[in-house]
Amino acid sequence: MYKIYRLVLTILLSAVLSIPVHASTIINGEYSSLPPGPDDDVKEIHYVDDNYERLTDYANGYSLLVPHNLTVDASLSPVVTVLTNDSLRIEIFYDNLSGTPATASDYMSYSNRFISNTRNHTRLYEATYRQNDFTVHRLHWTRPKLMHAPNDKNYYASIELAKNSKEVYTVFIKSATPIENAGKIAGSFTLVPRQGTPQIALPLRRAHTPLNAETRAFYDKYFSPASPQRWGIFEPGAPQTFEELDILEEQLNYTFPILVRYQSLDENLPILGLNSAYEHGRTVELTLQTSHDFVDSSDAIYDILAGKYDDYFQLYARQLTAFGHPVLFRLNNEMNGDWCSYSAFYYSKDAELYKAMWRHIRRIFDENGVDNVLWVWNPHDLSFPDFKWNHYLMYYPGDEYVDIIGLTGYNTGTYFAGEKWREFDQIYPEIYNEYDRHFAKPFMITEFGSNSVGGDKAAWMKTMFAQIGLLPKIKVAIWWNGIDWDASGQPGRIYILDETEETTATFRQGLQQFKQD
C-alpha cells in the first residue's frame, strides 16, 4: 500500500509542479537510456500537459513546445531536427549567417519569395513582431492537395525567430489540417546553453536498383570499387551527331565512353540520341530537368505530384524499357540552386516535395519494368541560397532510390560579379570527403570545368589531372565543354577544353593516364 500511495503522490506533485512524468532522450540521432558524454548531440523530450511536450535541443541551443505523439528524427542534426506523424511535420533549423553579407532580415525575405506565386500558394496570415527578445516573422499559407505526395500536408506555417542580425531559428510546420497553434509554439521558443556537438547519423546502405544483365555488367565495369577512373564529356552536338566530337577525340587521342544529353519536359525520351550513342559504343548520362524552355516552370513539381505528367512519365518509362541498354539517369540535378525551377525555393521551401517527386517517378519506372537505368542524384557543391532548408541533404530521396552520387563544382572564374577563381583542390577534396562520410555509393563528377577568365586554365587542368586520382570513389569525370553567356551574349564562363592549343595539349597529356575501353 505504501508504494501505491507514493506513486499517487508523485503524479499529483508532478501535475502541480510541472515535473515531467516521462521523458525521452536522443543521443547522436538515436533514442537512448545511456548517459551522454560531453561531446554528444543530445535532445530531450519532456511531458508538459495533455497537449504538449517540450523538446530541448542542447547541441543547437534551443527549447520549444511541440504537440504530443511526434517521432523525432535527429539524423541530420547539424542541418535540421524533424518531428513527424502521419498528419504533421515540424522541421527546426538554425542558421548562422556570420561571414556572409546576408542578414536575418535578408533570410526572412528571400526564404519566403515563393509566396508571390499566387497560382499555387494562398497566403493565410503574415506578421512580424517582437517576442521574448526575438524578432519573429510568421507566415501561414496553403496549397492544393497533391495526389502523389503520400500523407500530403498542404497547410504550412513558417516561424522565423531572429536572435540578432546574423542568427535566426526557423520552425517550419506542415499539416494535413489548418495550423492553429503556431503562435503558441513561437511563444514557447527559448534559448538554452549549448552542450555537445550536432552530428549527422545517416545509415550507410548499399541498396541497389534491380538491373538487367547488360546494365549490371556496365555498372560492374564502370562503378565497382575496383573500376579505374574514366572520362566523359558534354559536347553540345553529341550524341545526335558526332561530327564535332570526332574531331575533338582525334585531337585528344581519347574516346569518351560517357556523353551528356540534357532534356526538358518539352520533349519525350530522346530515343534517337540514345540509339546514336549506343551505335557508337557510348552510354548517355541522360539529364532530365523537369522544366519547360523559355517559360515559367516554378509550378512543375506541384504539377508532377498532382498527376498532370503521369502519361508523360508512363510513356517515358515504356520507351526506356524498349531501349533496354544502360542509361545513367540524372533527374533534376543541382536542385539546391535557385537557378533551377525544381529547387524548393519555388515550392514552399519544402524539399520533401522534391523527394516525393523523385520517388513517384521511380515508382512509375518500376511499374513499367525499367531495369536499364542507374539513378544519379546530383546536388551542386554550393547551395544557393546557402540556408539550412536548402541544404543538399534535405533533398536526398534515400539509398533505395539512388545508385550513384553525382558531384558538381565549377571553377566559374571571375567574369560575373561575386564569383571567384577556385582551384580543383579548393572544390573537390572537401566535398568528396564530406559525401564519403554520408553515402556508401560510387561517385561520379557529372559535369565540371574551368573558366579561362580570371586565371591560368591550363595550370588548373594540370592540377586537376594530378589530384583527381587521389579521390578513388570518383569513377567517372565528365568535362562540360561549353560556354555560359552573359545577358548581352558575351562569353562569361568559357569551359571549352580546346580553347587554345595549350589547353588542348594539356588535356591530351592528362588523359594519357586513364584507361581506354
DSSP string, 314-333: HHHHHHHHHH-S-EEEEEST
Residue 15 in this model has a pLDDT that exceeds 60: no
How many Cβ atoms are within 10 Å of 429's Cβ, its own excluded? 13
Closest among 395, 400, 355 to 378, alpha carbons compared: 395
Contacts 24+ apart (CB under 8 A), 337-343: 337/380, 337/382, 337/383, 337/384, 338/384, 338/385, 338/390, 339/384, 340/289, 340/291, 341/290, 341/291, 341/296, 341/297, 341/298, 341/300, 342/289, 342/290, 342/291, 342/297, 342/300, 342/301, 343/390
pLDDT in tens, 263-293: 999 999 999 999 999 999 999 999 999 999 9
How many angstroms separate the CA atoms of 137 and 116, rounded? 17
Beta bridge partners of 230: 476
Please report which confidence band the pLDDT of residue 22 belongs to, taking 50, 70 and 90 as the band edges. Answer: low
Mean of all residue pLDDT scores within the chain: 94
Please report which confidence band the pLDDT of residue 32 belongs to, taking 50, 70 and 90 as the band edges. Answer: confident
Buried b vs exposed e over 200-213: b needs ≥16 C-beta within 10 Å?
Answer: beeeeeeeebebbe
How many Cβ atoms are within 10 Å of 15's Cβ, its own excluded? 11
Task: List all residues 6 or more positions away from 413 whose beta carbon is below 8 Å from its beta carbon.
Answer: 419, 421, 450, 451, 452, 453, 454, 455, 493, 494
Alpha-carbon torsion (93, 96, 102, 104), positive or negative: positive
pLDDT in tens, 141-200: 999 999 999 999 999 999 999 999 999 999 999 999 999 999 999 999 999 999 999 999
Please report which confidence band the pLDDT of residue 317 belongs to, taking 50, 70 and 90 as the band edges. Answer: very high
Residue 205 in this model has a pLDDT that exceeds 90: no
pLDDT in tens, 41-51: 999 999 999 99
Longest CA span, the chain: 94
Contact 185, 420 (CB under 8 A): no
Per-residue cell: 71:
517521432
pLDDT in tens, 91-111: 999 999 999 999 999 999 999
Q: Do the strands 167-175 and 88-96 form a parallel or antiparallel pair, or are they unpaired?
A: antiparallel
How many angstroms separate the CA atoms of 155 and 175, rounded? 5
- According to the model, what pLDDT value does residue 23 have? 73
What would you report as the CA-atom Rg of the chain, rounded to the nearest whole angstrom?
A: 25
Beta bridge partners of 91: 82, 172
Share of the chain above pLDDT 70, in %: 96
Per-residue cell: 259:
556523353
Q: Which H/E stretch holds residue 71? A: strand 71-73
- According to the model, what pLDDT value does residue 208 have? 78
Contact 374, 215 (CB under 8 A): yes
How many angstroms separate the CA atoms of 426 and 431, rounded? 9
Residue 319 in this model has a pLDDT that exceeds 80: yes
How many Cβ atoms are within 10 Å of 487's Cβ, its own excluded? 6
Task: List all residues 6 or more positions away from 432 whose beta carbon is below 8 Å from its beta carbon.
Answer: 407, 443, 471, 473, 474
Angle at 143 between CA 137 and CA 149, to 5 degrees: 115
- According to the model, what pLDDT value does residue 11 have? 30
Residue 4 in this model has a pLDDT that exceeds 50: no
Phi, psi of 225 (to 5 degrees): -55, -30
Residue 85 in this model has a pLDDT that exceeds 90: yes
Q: Which H/E stretch holds residue 37? A: none
- According to the model, what pLDDT value does residue 254 have? 97
Alpha-carbon torsion (156, 159, 165, 166), positive or negative: negative
Contact 421, 440 (CB under 8 A): no
Alpha-carbon torsion (355, 359, 362, 368), positive or negative: negative
Task: List all residues 6 or more positions away from 302 whose beta carbon is below 8 Å from its beta carbon.
Answer: 120, 143, 144, 146, 347, 353
Contact 410, 374 (CB under 8 A): no
Contact 241, 266 (CB under 8 A): no
* Residues in the chain, total: 517
Q: Do the strands 134-142 and 155-162 form a parallel or antiparallel pair, or are they unpaired?
A: antiparallel
How many Cβ atoms are within 10 Å of 459's Cβ, its own excluded? 13
Tell me the average pLDDT across 353-357: 98
Q: Do the strands 52-57 and 42-47 form a parallel or antiparallel pair, or are they unpaired?
A: antiparallel
Please report which confidence band the pLDDT of residue 515 belongs to, taking 50, 70 and 90 as the band edges. Answer: confident
